[in-house]
A = this chain, B = another copy of it.
Amino acid sequence: MSAITGVMPVAPTIFADDEELDLDGQRRVLDYLVDGKSDAVCILANYSEQFSLTDEEREQVLRTTMEHLDGRLPVCVTTSHFSPRIARERSLRAQELGAEMVMLMPPFFGATMKVDDEAVLEYFKRVADGLDVDIMIQDAPMSTTPLSVGLLTRIAKEVPNVNYAKIEMPQAAEKLRALGTSAGSSLPGLFDGEEAITLIPDLEAGARGTMSSCMVPDQLGQIVRDFLAGERDKAITAWENLLPFIHFENRQCGLRATKVLMKEGNIIASDRTRQPVGELQPDTRAQLVEMAKRKDPLILRWA
């Protein structure tokens, strides 16, 4: 088993000012992540505005990523879709192009289309049918279909590919600890998410990595590596130093933070998000940039 640990940042999908895909910008983001010693990269996630892309645009981002990285980093591709038939097709396509892993939320649509436990289990079985790569299940508040510890454990035990879970729910550490106990070796790849704002408690609870944004993957990766190497105090000190910054990202900026700093750092030409996600309010933007400068992250120095 070659479980990925460390930091697996989510690459934003880069747009020009007119909201067209900017694939050159996309390539520069990937180069920055390689240089930042990321352990893997995740594309087409919610932080990548996957909900604002056409199927054809998903394919373009996927193909560009795989071709440009050319094996320099393992790639996790988000392939969520309400229909397991379509989620499976997307996953097979990601595998065909060389992805190491796919990530999926359980099926849900809006406030009312929720799915019961048996149907969620069946969903993941069907997605995994004929698939060789690993599956990461994303457990996030965005989904209206809930994933209990018991259900996650059943899925991990009954679907061999399901080797990763990203837990970004309230009380994530408690859930990670319970999952570690109940799923054991059938779910070796426990990750936290949420821009790593609960990273140390989650590592203490058994997480082996974090799926963060691209804001400070260099520093977050070092924290996870130090922690896993037994350098707990060093990791805690570094994370507590970083928390006000990533917490500002998570609570005040959302997915716009990374793009703002990538533009400030001249990695990309436009920090545009697709509507209806609007621009950061100017004061919030200025505060974010000021906080970033105090942390001296690679994102502002790389280009």
Which residues of B lie under 8 Å from residue A274 when comparing CB positions? Answer: 83, 85
Pick out which of these stretches binds chain B: A36-44, A118-126, A242-250: A118-126
Residue in contact with A19 in the complex, picked from B51, B85, B112, B113, CB distance below 8 Å: B85
The answer to whether A83 and B119 touch (CB under 8 A), given A56-B55, A108-B110, A109-B51, is no
**Integer count of this chain's copies in the complex:** 2
| Interface size counted on chain A using CB atoms at 8 A | 36
Which residues of B lie under 8 Å from residue A144 when comparing CB positions? Answer: 110-111
CA distance A157 to B19 in the complex (A): 27
What is the predominant secondary structure among interface residues of chain A facing chain B? loop
Indicate if the CB atoms of B54 and A275 lie closer than 8 Å: no
CA distance A271 to B52 in the complex (A): 31
Residue in contact with A51 in the complex, picked from B85, B113, B141, CB distance below 8 Å: B113
Which residues of B lie under 8 Å from residue A86 when comparing CB positions? Answer: 52-54
Most buried by B among A54, A56, A122: A54
CA distance A123 to B111 in the complex (A): 20
CB interface residues, A 89-142, toward B, < 8 Å: 89, 107-113, 115, 119-120, 122-123, 126, 141-142
Chain A residues with CB under 8 Å of chain B are: 19, 46, 51-56, 81-86, 89, 107-113, 115, 119-120, 122-123, 126, 141-144, 274-276, 278
The answer to whether A111 and B275 touch (CB under 8 A), given A52-B82, A54-B86, A55-B55, is no
Residue in contact with A278 in the complex, picked from B56, B119, B126, CB distance below 8 Å: B119
Indicate if the CB atoms of B110 and A143 lie closer than 8 Å: yes
**Min CB gap A123→B, angstroms:** 5
Most buried by B among A56, A108, A110: A110
Specify the chain B residue showing the minimal Cβ separation from A83: B52
Specify the chain B residue showing the minimal Cβ separation from A105: B110
Indicate if the CB atoms of A141 and B119 lie closer than 8 Å: no
CA distance A52 to B88 in the complex (A): 12
CA distance A277 to B108 in the complex (A): 11
The answer to whether A275 and B122 touch (CB under 8 A), given A52-B83, A108-B110, is yes
CA distance A172 to B196 in the complex (A): 43
Indicate if the CB atoms of B52 and A111 lie closer than 8 Å: no
Which residues of B lie under 8 Å from residue A275 when comparing CB positions? Answer: 83-85, 119, 122-123, 126
Q: Nearest 7 pairs between A and B by C-beta?
A: A110-B142, A52-B83, A55-B55, A119-B276, A51-B109, A51-B82, A112-B142
